[in-house]
């Protein structure tokens, strides 16, 4: 479940084809995205395996507020009083994580893409229907660093959702891309750099345009919300995602 140093000082927690990340800073840990409800124990185990205590977790940053990225957010707030950061356009969705815009009917995808069925079954077993919303605090501001451990900089990468943001950590040569760019599409089962299918993307045209912000970082390490980390550079990944196009 824990993969250490997928980029310097950034650690991956993955379960049910859903990823979240712990960023180590001088003053503690930042959690990026909150997975599904059954991520609660794996996150706690990962924190301890890294030599930290739960009190070292200082903030939760949401790349976006779909249910599979908000899973344990409410519990972290209730138990630890953790501040939650998200773009202002994600605040309503964070409170209501199932009320999201998408271009195409979700029900069509398991029929057209049967290899996605095990992935979607795993998401369901992880508590996909049991996510409680949460109230973010201060909004993420594009172009600004967030005052949390690791000081990630905010990149607006809207399209997947209307306020989706990626996090750039230039000193670590890394971008946490969330679902702006993934290497596994849970709705089709396709792998390799791409945007997420229209079953969960609000505006695919804008999502493809937003890849410019990721490419401009020239980061070596791209850390997606679904799929394996990518270590061959932002330009190559973005080119492949554009070639793949929307699904």
pLDDT over 70 for what percent of the chain? Answer: 100
pLDDT tens-digit readout, 200-247: 999 999 999 999 999 999 999 999 999 999 999 999 999 999 999 999
The pLDDT value recorded for residue 1 is 86
Spatial distance between the Cα atoms of 193 and 184, rounded to a whole number of angstroms = 7
Domain boundaries, the chain: 2-244
Look over the chain and give the mean of its residue pLDDT values, rounded to a whole number: 97
Give bridge partners of residue 15 from the DSSP assignment.
18
pLDDT at 173 over 90: yes
Spatial distance between the Cα atoms of 42 and 40, rounded to a whole number of angstroms = 6
- Which residues, in sequence order, are CB contacts of 163 under 8 Å at separation 6+? 64, 86, 87, 88, 89, 90, 93, 140, 156
**CATH code given to domain 2-244:** 3.60.15.10
Is the separation of the CB atoms in 165 and 154 below 8 Å?
Answer: yes
Helix (H, G, I), strand (E, B) or coil at 59: strand
- Which residues, in sequence order, are CB contacts of 219 under 8 Å at separation 6+? 168, 170, 173, 174, 175, 233, 234
Tokens of 190: 């396709």
Give bridge partners of residue 32 from the DSSP assignment.
21, 61
pLDDT tens-digit readout, 112-142: 999 999 999 999 999 999 999 999 998 999 9
Centre a 10 Å sphere on the Cβ of residue 124 and count the other Cβ atoms it contains.
12
The pLDDT value recorded for residue 111 is 85
């Amino acid at each position: 479940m824990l993969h250490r140093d997928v980029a310097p000082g950034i650690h991956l927690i993955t379960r049910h084809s859903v990823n979240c990340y712990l960023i180590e800073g001088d003053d503690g840990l930042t959690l990026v995205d909150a997975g599904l409800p059954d991520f609660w124990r794996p996150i706690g185990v990962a924190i301890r395996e890294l030599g930290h205590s739960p009190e070292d977790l200082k903030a939760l940053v949401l790349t976006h507020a779909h249910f599979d990225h908000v899973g344990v957010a409410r519990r972290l707030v209730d138990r630890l009083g953790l501040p939650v950061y998200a773009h202002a356009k994600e605040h309503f969705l964070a409170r209501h994580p199932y009320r999201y815009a998408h271009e195409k009917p979700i029900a069509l995808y398991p029929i057209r893409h049967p290899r996605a069925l095990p992935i979607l079954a795993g998401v369901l077993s992880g508590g996909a229907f049991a996510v409680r919303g949460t109230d973010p605090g201060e909004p993420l501001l594009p172009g600004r660093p967030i005052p949390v451990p690791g000081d990630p900089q905010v990149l607006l990468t809207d399209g997947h959702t209307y306020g989706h943001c990626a996090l750039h950590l230039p000193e670590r040569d890394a971008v946490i891309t969330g679902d702006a760019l993934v290497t596994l599409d849970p709705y089709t089962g396709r792998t390799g750099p791409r945007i997420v299918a229209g079953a969960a993307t609000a505006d695919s045209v804008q999502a493809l345009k937003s890849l410019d912000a990721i490419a401009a970082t020239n980061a070596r390490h791209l850390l997606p919300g679904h799929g394996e980390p990518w270590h061959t550079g932002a330009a190559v990944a973005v080119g492949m995602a554009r070639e793949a196009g929307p699904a």
